[in-house]
């Protein structure tokens, strides 16, 4: 049996859980307390971050690698879009740039160099880009869900939830609908059950 060490609210763990669920890979999910990480997890991944997948002896401790591994097992709706290179670029922009702005916006008190609104404005540039990608379609890169949508969703969700009123007032109506559709989807609600 495959085992995924996860933390329900961690965005990296969320995207790994969604890919595993979609692919139908059987997996036991072990909810980790970040204050008391299980010895079994630390034994196979000493860095101590979630998610960690023990795929019958093969240890994968990066969320994107877990997602790609799951899709290699089964990708019935072509989330990989036939190897579309735009997926990697969009995920990199999220993970390397947007995530930095998200952290500073969400935890602005830890970054007193700038007001929270500056960090929000920097992150909003990425939201604007995503909203533009949704012009004329329901998903970021295709007419159906892809790896990019699922990989970015937890981070956009976090950004939107820092100040829900602000997000609701933005001109990013396509992105708002994209996010709401995800939050109401069976895929998302299933992986968020306690």
Tens of pLDDT, residues 24-67: 999 999 999 989 999 999 999 999 999 999 999 999 999 999 99
What is residue 50's three-state secondary structure?
coil
Domain that residue 58 falls in: 2-76
Task: Indicate the pTM of the whole model.
Answer: 0.96
What is the distance between the alpha carbons of residues 29 and 14, in angstroms, rounded to a whole number?
12
Same domain, residue pair 33 and 86: no
Rg of the Cα atoms in the chain: 17
Mean pLDDT within 9-36: 96
Could you tell me which of 130, 122, 172 has the C-alpha nearest to residue 151? Answer: 130
The whole-number pLDDT of residue 64 equals: 98
pLDDT (tens digit per residue) in 88-118? 999 999 999 999 999 999 999 999 999 999 9
Q: How many domains does the chain have?
A: 2
Same domain, residue pair 106 and 174: yes
Domain limit, last residue, from 76, 101, 127: 76
In a domain, 118, yes or no: yes
What is the distance between the alpha carbons of residues 147 and 140, in angstroms, rounded to a whole number?
10
DSSP 8-state secondary structure symbol assigned to residue 98: I
The whole-number pLDDT of residue 193 equals: 92
Same domain, residue pair 91 and 184: yes
The whole-number pLDDT of residue 194 equals: 84
Sign of CA dihedral 44, 46, 3, 145: negative
In a domain, 194, yes or no: no
Domain limit, last residue, from 41, 76, 111: 76
CA distances, 129 to each of 29, 31, 98, 112 (Å): 34, 34, 11, 27
The whole-number pLDDT of residue 183 equals: 97
Which CATH number is 136's domain given?
A: 1.20.1050.10
Domain limit, last residue, from 36, 52, 76: 76
């Amino acid at each position: 049996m495959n085992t995924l060490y996860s933390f329900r609210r961690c965005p990296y763990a969320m995207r790994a859980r969604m890919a595993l669920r979609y692919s139908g890979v059987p997996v036991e999910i072990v909810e980790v307390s970040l204050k008391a990480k299980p010895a079994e997890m630390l034994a196979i991944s000493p860095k101590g971050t979630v998610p960690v997948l023990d795929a019958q002896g093969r240890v994968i401790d990066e969320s994107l690698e877990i997602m790609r591994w799951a899709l290699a097992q089964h990708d019935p709706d072509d989330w990989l879009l036939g190897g579309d290179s735009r997926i990697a670029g969009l995920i990199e922009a999220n993970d390397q740039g947007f995530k930095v702005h998200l952290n500073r916006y969400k935890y602005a008190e830890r970054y007193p160099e700038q007001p929270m609104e500056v960090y929000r404005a920097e992150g909003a540039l990425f939201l604007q880009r995503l909203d533009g990608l949704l012009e004329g379609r329901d998903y970021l890169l295709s007419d159906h869900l892809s790896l990019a949508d699922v990989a970015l969703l937890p981070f956009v969700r976090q950004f939107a939830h820092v100040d829900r009123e602000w997000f609701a007032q933005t001109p990013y109506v396509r992105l708002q609908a994209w996010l709401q559709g995800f939050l109401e989807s069976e895929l998302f609600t299933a992986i968020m059950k306690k």
